[in-house]
Amino acid sequence: MDHPLPQIGKSFFEQFAKGDPVAAFALWNQWLANRQRRVDDNARYRKALEICVELGGASIRHYLSRRHQFLSESNLDLLDRISHGLNQQPPRRAMLPAAAMARPRRGHRVALLTQLEVPSERYHMQLIRGIVRAAQLHNLAVSLHEVSPIDLASSIDRVRANFRPDGLVMLRMTPTPRDLEPLSRSNMPLVLVHADRFIYPLPVLANIVPKQNLLAADLRAWAETSNPGPMPTREAQRSKAKKAVVVAVQRETPTAAYPTVDGINPSIRNDRIDQVGMALRQFRVEYAWVDGYGFQQAMGVYRRHPDADLYVSLSDEIAVGLKHILIAAKKPWEGRIVGFDDSPMSREEGLPSFSQSLDAVGSRVVGKLQEFFSASPDSIPTKFEELAVDVHLEMRYLADVR
């Protein structure tokens, strides 16, 4: 079998075994650089440009205008190509269905608020793209705006003054009561995407959250298939249980002063970690807390847990890194690694990965805003809603990449 990624190689583990961290780290960085160069740069550029063109050239140029000092060299190159490409005919433009083009323009403007950079993590870009495409079907104008996590209320006021939107969408942010005061006075509708799970006051129309109870069931079924035979459950035999390592960013402490939904832990991240832990009860579960979800974290996870029978990573990048570390160490990887976000990378690597049904998020967001826009002037929404999209495990095996 030909592995899509370059293997780290024998020399890496020779340095690793000698306890030479500087030499091993240099080889690891070289592997990461090869991994980045392996990607079809033109395809990556075209995909990013397509997303940006759908947002509109003026909007994305405004958004990117102060991003350079925060971006790495590889992202700077891509950003410059995008900025240049926005002044040209895009290589591919999304075509609207005839039915959507025939609808009269409503003139509604929607601002997407984010704290993250562009280009950013795949998950975030997929969210933006899904919302923009759904908005196009309803002839909504969409603009992307960076906001400050330190003073969200002032950021919202600035967006309202500059863009004058009819509605707002917050991506992965949890507003406080103070943040919502300006919107409450203006009755401007707001839809949250993957915010912490609270009962928000109007004008927050909805919070789109991942439905994670399927996550545990899917992971349990996969683990039983990949590791045949249930493990002993008696305390006396637990030392014989196989070891499962959960790779995640440390738990968070939600602080917003709202009542929770159904008494559930409001943190999506904490709930996800809990669901994974529950699914792996037949294993001896240990946690590998990481500082981020990039490739670089994989080596630290392996160094701390080289004896793991199963790695459940809440990141596809770390999962792919672990796969190729195991390959270089001449250890089996199939049936031992699970990723998260169902990225194209996980598909080309043949790794099972959790999907958050991101395509469904855009239609949910735009649907709630359209309900508000199409209501009669004297018809005011009466309550906030929590809307769920499924999280499920996409099963893949070694044969899928042969």
**297-329 per-position pLDDT tens digit:** 888 899 999 999 999 999 988 998 898 888 888
The count of residues in the chain is 402
Identify which of 167, 92, 144, 82 has the alpha carbon closest to the alpha carbon of residue 371: 167
Query: For residue 164, what pLDDT is reported?
Result: 86
- pLDDT value at residue 104: 42
Using alpha carbons, select from 363, 362, 340, 355 the residue that is nearest to residue 392.
355
Task: Tell me the pTM.
Answer: 0.72
68 and 34 Cβ atoms separated by less than 8 Å: no
Strand pairing class (353-355; 337-340): parallel
Residues of the chain with pLDDT under 50: 1-6, 38-39, 66-73, 76, 86-106, 118-120, 228-239, 401-402
Instruction: Say whether 355 sits in a helix, a strand or coil.
Output: strand
CB 304 within 8 A of CB 318: no
Largest pairwise CA distance in the chain: 74
Say if CB 205 and CB 369 are below 8 A apart.
yes
pLDDT one-digit tens code per residue, 218-257: 998 888 776 544 444 444 344 467 999 999 999 988 788 8
User: Distance (Å, rounded) from C-alpha 362 to C-alpha 366?
Assistant: 6
Burial category of 391 from C-beta neighbours within 10 Å (exposed 0-12, middle 13-18, buried 19 and up): buried
First to last CA, the chain: 6
Predicted pLDDT at 18: 67
Q: What is the pLDDT of residue 200?
A: 94
| Measured distance CA(55)–CA(74) in Å, rounded | 22
Opening angle at CA 119, ends 116 and 122, nearest 5:
85
Do 291 and 249 contact (CB within 8 A), yes or no? Answer: yes
Contact 203, 184 (CB under 8 A): yes
Q: Which domains does the chain have, with CATH numbers?
A: 41-210+358-391 (3.40.50.2300), 212-356+396-401 (3.40.50.2300)
Neighbour count for residue 149 (Cβ, 10 Å):
9
pLDDT at 68: 44
Residue 292 CB neighbour total at 10 angstroms: 12
What pLDDT shows up at residue 235?
47
